[in-house]
Structure 1
Amino acid sequence: MSSPESAAAWKAIAARKQSSRASRIPSKWHIPSSALPKDPPSLENGPQNVLDLPRQFLSSAEIAITEDYTVESLLSALASKKLSCEEVAQAFCHRAAIAHQLTNCLTEPLFDSAVQRAKELDAYLAQNGRPFGPLHGLPVSVKDTFNVKGVDTSIGLAYLCEKPATENAPLVSLLLSLGCVIVAKTNIPQTLASLDSVNNVFGRTMNPINRLCTAGGSSGGEGVLVAMKGSILGIGTDIGGSIRVPAMCNGVYGFKPSNNRIPYGGQALTGREGMSRTSVQAVAGPIARSVRDIDVFLREVIPRATLWAEDCMPCPWPPSSPSSQQIQGSGPNGELVIGILRSDGNCTLLPPITTILNEVAVSLQGTNTRTGAKIVVKELLTPRAWTRSQSVMSKLMGVDGAVVMNHMITSTGEPLVPWMSTRFRAGKAQPLERVAELQAQRSQLEREMLNLWSEVDAHGRRRQTLDAIVCPVAPHPVPPIEGYNAVGMTSSWVLFDYPTGTVPVRSVVEDDLELGRPLPAGNVLGSWDAKCRELWDEHVTDRRVYLGTPLSVQVVVQRGRDDWLCRVMGVIDEVMKSQTQTQSGDVKARL
């Protein structure tokens, strides 16, 4: 039990930390209090969408720099000196500062060091006549978990505040070696184990599209900052959905790679060092505004990862755009075979999710890609292994007993935030025999899942029959704050080590809400399903809260096929955008 002194310790630390953070936002970048959204958010005030609000406080040049470029075109403009690294860094830092004031997305503004770094890159280009590296001047952000030398890696815990890192995480060093400019570190949830980014030190990160709904987690600050265009690309981490869920919540693209692709080490230790290698390993990956931005970024990072990190293996990446190469699928005539996987057997899909899956399936079926490959869509039955995997995943994630995390929380008397108060349990680390038993269960599930991707003929030969899966990110739309519950549709793919990505499709419209129409009767599948159903029960949730929030799908491929995932995501994104443009044109024609 904590003493009164320790119980108050976290409050003093948090106050100092917030004051330090505020001092690093230049006064000239402060926006008027009249522009700030109303808190606490309420349905009466509506969604309070602030995505475009930064434009009111930016110059036309800053708007152009932060909005008009892709990763590729920005790099070209920087290399050709059309833009200087300094003016680009200034523009993105300014926009990040405004985004933070509107959403509370940052933990560590790094504006001064970013501008100084940009000046050094400009000097290098002037002196040498060539860019410093292939990502020369690219303004990026990183999740607070990554060590940046001289900066706290507090992960929202008072215990870790005011203890600056003594060296960079390998990924940070790799990014700097490529020429990146790191503009900020971003907010996360307490314990990193929830899907709503709130902690006692920095507070809650708000969704810029709809303040009534969650911004996601645990890379919530990254999802928000990228959506607000305060960085052109962000780096998050993912073990239960922590890249893909914030991407879904904020209407951007998220990419969870396989293990050993992107350096992961050099982050805040939330458990005993080395423990993750006995259970399930999280991965680092990008959150971006397009599939193409992800492709350009990974093309430079993944092949160089082994130069910097002991936890990576050599992996090439195709030198050209995913959509520019011939897509050769596993169909009899090279068709791209995409399976629609609807339910994990643990949660009933809410109507908007069923609708968006139907729209994607119909749009993809029979479509010819730009490379000439035809898409074949087939409905998949829920594999028993997918249903069982969430339970095994949850047990493996808890093998350390949360001993270290519990110590860090209780040392300064911190309370648990509301979402964690009923879910966080500290115990004892599991014995080796129990861990081995769980890993054996995992292996069996992995073997069972092979039957989803391939088949064996009468002669015992196995061939690929499925190229990718499209499934929900969650069984529900972007939920209200504190409303996220089941993560089986994201965490299970980490158990199988399948690379997966989030692709936004469109926003929720009124027809999606089916107001006054209850969820079709059916057996409640369990406690996760019961909580999910509450998000559609009009006695519990006002469905109008979902209006305007993004609807996304998750794309999944087999282990190790990360570049293939990028290509398939690009195809699906292109088809759905084309469909949206066609529908918009039809509406205009009728008008």
Structure 2
Amino acid sequence: MESTSSEAPWQAIARRKQASRDARIPSQWRIPLAHLPQDPPRFEDGPQSVLHVPAAVLSAEESQITENYSIATLVAAIARRKLLAETVISAFCHRAAVAHQLTNCLTEPLFAQAVERGRFLDQYMEEHGMPLGPLHGLPVSVKDTFDIKGVDSSTGLASLCFKPAEKNAPLVDLLLSLGAVVVAKTNVPQTLSSLDSVNNVFGRTMNPLNRLCTAGGSSGGEGVMVAMRGSLLGIGTDLGGSIRIPAMVNGVYGFKPSNLRLPYGGQAVLVPEGMTRIGVQPVAGPLAQSMEDINFVMKELVPRASLWGEDCVLGEWADADLSKPLQGSGPDGQVVIGVLRNDGNCTLLPPVDRILSEVVSSLSEYANITVVEVPTPTAWTQAQSAMNELIAIDGGVHMGQLLGSTGEPLVPWVKPRFKVGEPCSLTRLAELQAWRSQLELEMLQIWSETDQYGRKRRKLDAVICAVAPHPVPEIERFNSLGYTSSFVLFDYPAGTIPVRNMVEEDLNLGKALDGQSLGVWDDHCRELWDERTVNRKVYLGTPLSIQVVVPRLEDEKLGKLMALIDGVVKSHKISSKLLE
């Protein structure tokens, strides 16, 4: 483990850190070699999914516990003492260990302390005759950026390894106060600025649905953990799409709240403290297997968030009761959903446009929903440029120092894109924020209409659009942020709904893409459909998703609308199958 004189300091640190991580996976949980996938994955070797492996190595009881419950039914089973919290947590820890060995999704396995907490929760139930809280015994994983006392928040940087946090992040404390159990922390990309979760300390996280494709970033490890059911709730953060994109590529649900809804403090310090307060504020949010799960958890977190986070306001979150029609802004109370087809920078590739049209078709047949096409707002087109500048106002100085202190190199995708420069001047920052205000005001106009007397009324309840203009790309090829980062600039709540997987019909094999490129960003997007640069069959079996967006602070409404849209689309798919 000692370093040699010819190597940079980061290399010895990385070896020590990986050894420390590996030592926390019990030997009895090691997967037999026959179940481990080959690396590097190769297209010619056929399907690259590992979702089936946990069932082959877990016990029947562990499989039943980790596969057959929603969040609500699991905490109810523990509350009724049908299941012991310790048994549940042990099962999920084992599954998380399996998921990690297949995908490299963990940075900090917390299995021993998680099982101990499960035992404590059982003792609490025995002594008090009731659960500690509404999330009693719920297995949770969190992105590596969140501080947990006594645990590193290294984010895959050697300079931050072996520097454990002194206290928990407020959101971690909030989850613990409700009875949740944190089973692990998960992997992220170097500098948190890539959409492929790879760094020098922990390596690359692989997509469990197709190991040839990206696992996303920067909450990539969370997307994988939830997809593999190593935890039932993942907590990520989102600045450019870092919750919604991992949800998209891993086929799960992701929810980016507005600012002020969930505590964000207690994060690894990767930019000067306070910098996000004057630039663009990232937010914390959940990833889960269903909208039912997300709504269940947000109902408990949001009303309490202002007690824990100085960056939160008092909020409410009622149950999403789909048995009653949701009241919308239409003339007769219909829910009015706008469709944004194009951000003006990247044209939707055929399968993404098709899935959006399929969802529109499903929604249009629902009695209480009206769907309207919305022209691309100029503000949406310009928002990506504004975000690019606001995200970089610190000049990357602190990150450069963290990397330089151990001689750590940039990983290949980040290398041509990360540069240390001068921090933004106060005057330029003011100009950027003035530009942002102008774009916000322009974007506001899509939501309402004005009558002849100057009175405004709401005309849209939500918009749906793509999460990205392309399907789930191969490793290192995700390059389009405009469909997600813009809604951070506008501070709109937004979430990802998986609809279905890619099939042969979606590939349009042998057919070139029509139309002219919209520019450089579109050129890169089109390369992902150009059969000279990609075998489109690599996309088979990967998820196709949509994004749902509502105005600022309408998070509770977003939860209800996502549940409604998800339910309508699922019902339509079931009905279509019955007619075949």
TM-score (norm 1): 0.97
Equivalent of 1:552 in 534, 545, 556 = 545
**1:539 corresponding residue in structure 2:** 532
**1:283 corresponding residue in structure 2:** 283
Tell me, in whole angstroms, the C-alpha distance in 2 between the residues paired with 1:463 and 1:435.
34
Tell me, in whole angstroms, the C-alpha distance in 2 between the residues paired with 1:387 and 1:173.
39
1:7 Cα deviation from its structure 2 partner: 5.5
Tell me, in whole angstroms, the C-alpha distance in 2 between the residues paired with 1:6 and 1:302.
52
1:324 Cα deviation from its structure 2 partner: 4.2
1:10 Cα deviation from its structure 2 partner: 0.6
- Checking the alignment, whether the CA contact within 8 Å between 1:393 and 1:492 is kept in structure 2 is yes
User: Deviations for 1:459-509, whole angstroms, at most 9, x for unmatched residues?
Assistant: 010000000000000000000000011200000000000000000000000
Tell me, in whole angstroms, the C-alpha distance in 2 between the residues paired with 1:325 and 1:501.
22
Mapping for residues 395-410 of structure 1, pairs under 5 Å: 395-410=389-404
**1:71 corresponding residue in structure 2:** 71
Amino acid at match of 2:376: T
Tell me, in whole angstroms, the C-alpha distance in 2 between the residues paired with 1:422 and 1:411.
20
Equivalent of 1:452 in 431, 436, 446 = 446
Mapping for residues 458-477 of structure 1, pairs under 5 Å: 458-477=452-471
**1:564 corresponding residue in structure 2:** 557
- Checking the alignment, whether the CA contact within 8 Å between 2:219 and 2:236 is kept in structure 1 is yes
Amino acid at match of 2:140: V
Mapping for residues 88-487 of structure 1, pairs under 5 Å: 88-318=88-318, 320-368=319-367, 374-487=368-481
Amino acid at match of 1:278: I
Q: Cα 1:297–1:526, aligned 2, differ >3 Å: closer, same or farther? A: same
Which secondary structure state, in structure 2, belongs to the residue aligned with residue 344 of structure 1? coil
Amino acid at match of 1:562: D
- Checking the alignment, whether the CA contact within 8 Å between 1:47 and 1:212 is kept in structure 2 is no
1:429 Cα deviation from its structure 2 partner: 0.7
**2:25 corresponding residue in structure 1:** 25
User: Deviations for 1:168-217, whole angstroms, at most 9, x for unmatched residues?
Assistant: 00011111101000000000000001110000000000000001100000
**1:513 corresponding residue in structure 2:** 507
1:33 Cα deviation from its structure 2 partner: 1.6
Q: State the identity %.
A: 62
**2:486 corresponding residue in structure 1:** 492
TM-score (norm 2): 0.98
Tell me, in whole angstroms, the C-alpha distance in 2 between the residues paired with 1:414 and 1:324.
55
User: Deviations for 1:537-574, whole angstroms, at most 9, x for unmatched residues?
Assistant: 00001100000000000000000000100111011101
Gaps of 5+ in 1: 369-373
> Over the residues paired in the alignment, what is the CA RMSD in angstroms?
1.2
Which secondary structure state, in structure 1, belongs to the residue aligned with residue 123 of structure 2? helix
User: Deviations for 1:45-89, whole angstroms, at most 9, x for unmatched residues?
Assistant: 123211121011111111111111111011110101000000000
1:585 Cα deviation from its structure 2 partner: 2.3
**1:47 corresponding residue in structure 2:** 47
**2:59 corresponding residue in structure 1:** 59
Amino acid at match of 2:227: A
Tell me, in whole angstroms, the C-alpha distance in 2 between the residues paired with 1:584 and 1:70.
25
Of the structure 1 ranges 4-13 and 435-444, higher mean CA displacement relative to structure 2 is found in 4-13
User: Deviations for 1:443-472, whole angstroms, at most 9, x for unmatched residues?
Assistant: 000100111000111101000000000000
User: Deviations for 1:422-444, whole angstroms, at most 9, x for unmatched residues?
Assistant: 11111111111100100000000
Which secondary structure state, in structure 2, belongs to the residue aligned with residue 163 of structure 1? coil
Tell me, in whole angstroms, the C-alpha distance in 2 between the residues paired with 1:247 and 1:439.
30
Tell me, in whole angstroms, the C-alpha distance in 2 between the residues paired with 1:385 and 1:472.
17
1:584 Cα deviation from its structure 2 partner: 2.4
Which secondary structure state, in structure 2, belongs to the residue aligned with residue 418 of structure 1? coil
**1:575 corresponding residue in structure 2:** 568
Amino acid at match of 2:353: T
Tell me, in whole angstroms, the C-alpha distance in 2 between the residues paired with 1:227 and 1:237.
17
- Checking the alignment, whether the CA contact within 8 Å between 1:322 and 1:570 is kept in structure 2 is no
Tell me, in whole angstroms, the C-alpha distance in 1 between the residues paired with 2:47 and 2:374.
36
User: Deviations for 1:498-530, whole angstroms, at most 9, x for unmatched residues?
Assistant: 00000000000000000000001x222111111
Amino acid at match of 1:553: I
Q: Cα 1:340–1:195, aligned 2, differ >3 Å: closer, same or farther? A: same
Gaps of 5+ in 2: none
Q: Cα 1:586–1:10, aligned 2, differ >3 Å: closer, same or farther? A: same
Tell me, in whole angstroms, the C-alpha distance in 2 between the residues paired with 1:400 and 1:39.
38
Which secondary structure state, in structure 1, belongs to the residue aligned with residue 65 of structure 2? helix
Tell me, in whole angstroms, the C-alpha distance in 1 between the residues paired with 2:237 and 2:130.
32
Amino acid at match of 1:346: N
Tell me, in whole angstroms, the C-alpha distance in 2 between the residues paired with 1:450 and 1:19.
51
**2:12 corresponding residue in structure 1:** 12
